[in-house]
Structure 1
Amino acid sequence: MRQQPFGKARRVGVIVPLGEEFEYVRAVLPPAPGQLVDGEQYHGFRLPQSGVSGFVRVLSDMGQAPAALTADRMINRLGVSLVVLIGTGAGLDGAVRLGDVVVADQIQEHLRQAKVVPGAGAPLAVERAGESWRTDARLIDHVRNFGWLPAGAAELTRWRQRAAARRPGSGPAGPAEPQVHVGALATGDVVVAAGAFARWIRQGNRKLVALDMEAGGAALAAHRNAGADLLVIRGISDHADEQKATWDAGRGPGGARNAWRHYAVHNAAEYLVVLLSSSGFPWREGAAPGGAAAVRGAPSPWLPVTLGLAGEHVLHADHAHPHPDHAYPDHAQADHPDHAHADPEHADGAEAEHADDDQHLHDVLDDW
């Protein structure tokens, strides 16, 4: 089997929640033609100035579950050592303006395990619980200090100048050049377009600077797979308030629609390229596909197996994604009585099929 030098070349898996956002990202990261890997479409890319390469995957839907499944697949099947989640976000801090970029140093799933109870003077009240993850300290240290390095300062200046030239003409007053904010990101499966709810979210943590819908899922996958890091970069396109629809419908030069969303995602994607191309970026070495991080015949470390209804075969989570609305069983293949003793001939055939799958994966990656 040919070996793909994943440790040095293909390191990054980029998750883009929406097809609209992918149109903006692909203008910055020109992708190779899409290729199917285990029935899912991925787009390869390479940054010519640095040699960094990787894959882009557009989610099937917004939310935590699709992001978690895709991040887990990228780590365990494609062997990436860095997962990047990129797209639009909503600003929660008054200092965060449209077009600014937020890099999450902490991810807080604000509605996780919340409890709805009768309210005092109101029909309902929500008791918070939540779950939090921190971005690897090496990544955040590099982001925070990058602008103070001579080369970093020059790159960020050029990035701001390019962004200012693209800024939509109609919009809020303020400096034309975007800023980078490093701070806590709220995440949850709710589209927020009400200022009162946005303020309620921030009451739980005054350091929250932005809001999205996918970071918690990607963070859980990275947390369960110690060989990979997660970097969440969001371009701010609204403030999760009553003006969201206005900014979403904003038009740019020539009457182009979604001007602020386009501007925000383009800024975030260009900032990502600047970071990944920088010297001293703290890469973590990952494992090649089919290696230790993707052991065939064993489920992903955090996604349990799904059993066939007839009990005649097992479909592992690293082969196909269960629908996010389906419950996951809490037992593993080895605990099921129907699978206590495998047929050796069947096992040999399965191993040959898995080897063919791995060869196909390597062939696809070589094509990129």
Structure 2
Amino acid sequence: MPPRDHTVVVLTALALEYAAVRPYVPEREERVHRDGTRVEVGRLPGTDWQVALAELGEGTRTAASLTTRIIDWLEPEAVLFVGVAGSLKRDIGLGDVVIGTKVYGIHGGKLTPTGFEVRPEAWPVSNALLSAARSAVRDMDGVRAHFKPIASGDVVLADAESDIARHLREHYNDAAAIEMEGVGAVQAAHLNGQLHALVVRGISDHADAAKSAADGRGSQESAAAQAASVAVAVLRRHRPQGSSVPEEGPHPGSTYGGDHIDFRGATFHGPVTGKRQH
């Protein structure tokens, strides 16, 4: 697929996350990589974006490997990972959305006779997409958004007093949410070069013993829907390079120069499966 198609890849891990994004791209066709990896591709109405939707499955390594493969295949301008996460802060509640300002890989370190010595790894996200997100959420009624770091690793946290929870509080104290795939996707985008990347996560639980009860009440579906709505709003704000379509809802303080937007200023469900297991 030629890069001038203005492709953005929207990645999800779970079927319910994929189902939350899919209705925003009403006309889709399935494309299959030679290795069997599948995406659905279609236009985001009202924009120049061609959206490629992919459901990767769970886990950091899977996300890193498949994101790299999809980037090499489709040559997108941007990559968004969209889905659910657990809150690590008391003031970030169910249904809130955390847009990652950076993504921590939480398992790096060295085991020594005196204990585990942490070697933190943080991956940056796109400033342009962050700016578009800050602009977009100001106009979104019913969305409570937080721009904070996200912790990412191969763990489902369902005990606020566990060793991993204490590890996060001690070494990644500014992280607002925990999930499993963001670091793999952002790392792949970062190593590719100048590719824009962003992680958007809806909060479905508080990463504690009440996780199962929250999931049982449909919190994952609701959180995924919130994350999907924010991700789409970001794409409506952030125009592709050379786009002929203006951003949705231009603000008086925004200026246009060639292919660049300078943002001034500062915070449907079908039957699906694939919830986080415990």
**Same fold per superposition (TM over 0.5):** yes
Aligned to 1:181, the other structure's residue is in SS state: strand
Gaps of 5+ in 2: 243-278
- CA drift at 1:33: 4.0
Tell me if 1:214 matches 2:178: no
Q: Look up the match of 2:38.
A: 41
Q: Look up the match of 2:3.
A: 6
Q: Look up the match of 2:275.
A: none
CA distance in 2, matches of 1:234, 1:31: 25
Aligned to 1:141, the other structure's residue is in SS state: helix
CA 1:29/1:195 → structure 2, altered by over 3 Å: closer, same or farther? Answer: farther
CA distance in 1, matches of 2:239, 2:102: 18
Choose from 204, 208, 220 the match for 2:171. Answer: 204
Aligned partner of 2:84: which letter?
T
Larger radius of gyration: 1
CA distance in 1, matches of 2:133, 2:178: 19
CA distance in 2, matches of 1:109, 1:208: 11
Tell me if 1:235 matches 2:225: no
Tell me if 1:195 matches 2:192: no
CA 1:241/1:30 → structure 2, altered by over 3 Å: closer, same or farther? Answer: farther
Tell me if 1:81 matches 2:77: yes
Gaps of 5+ in 1: 120-124, 148-152, 161-177, 251-258, 286-368
- CA drift at 1:116: 3.9
Aligned partner of 1:58: which letter?
E
Runs of 4+ in 1 over 3 A off after TM superposition: 27-31, 115-119, 282-285
CA distance in 1, matches of 2:125, 2:17: 23
Aligned to 1:54, the other structure's residue is in SS state: strand
Choose from 40, 52, 57 the match for 1:55. Answer: 52
Tell me if 1:127 matches 2:92: no
Q: Look up the match of 2:134.
A: 144
CA 1:236/1:29 → structure 2, altered by over 3 Å: closer, same or farther? Answer: farther
Confirm or deny: 8 A CA contact 2:24 2:44 kept in the other structure: no
Confirm or deny: 8 A CA contact 1:28 1:266 kept in the other structure: no
Choose from 253, 262, 269 the match for 2:221. Answer: 262
Choose from 204, 209, 232 the match for 1:273. Answer: 232
CA 1:26/1:282 → structure 2, altered by over 3 Å: closer, same or farther? Answer: closer
Normalised by the size of structure 2, how large is the TM-score? 0.79
Choose from 20, 42, 67 the match for 2:16. Answer: 20
CA distance in 1, matches of 2:25, 2:98: 19
CA distance in 2, matches of 1:214, 1:93: 20
CA distance in 1, matches of 2:235, 2:21: 15
Q: For 1:96-135, what aligned pairs fall within 5 Å after superposition?
A: 96-112=92-108, 114-117=109-112, 125-135=115-125
CA distance in 2, matches of 1:137, 1:24: 25
* Segment of structure 1 superposing worse, 20-29 or 94-103: 20-29
CA 1:142/1:35 → structure 2, altered by over 3 Å: closer, same or farther? Answer: closer
- CA drift at 1:14: 1.0
Tell me if 1:245 matches 2:193: no
CA distance in 1, matches of 2:95, 2:25: 19
Aligned to 1:102, the other structure's residue is in SS state: strand
- CA drift at 1:206: 2.2
Tell me if 1:224 matches 2:191: yes
Aligned partner of 2:17: which letter?
E
Aligned to 2:119, the other structure's residue is in SS state: coil
The answer to which structure has the higher strand fraction is: 2
Aligned partner of 1:129: which letter?
R
Tell me if 1:90 matches 2:86: yes
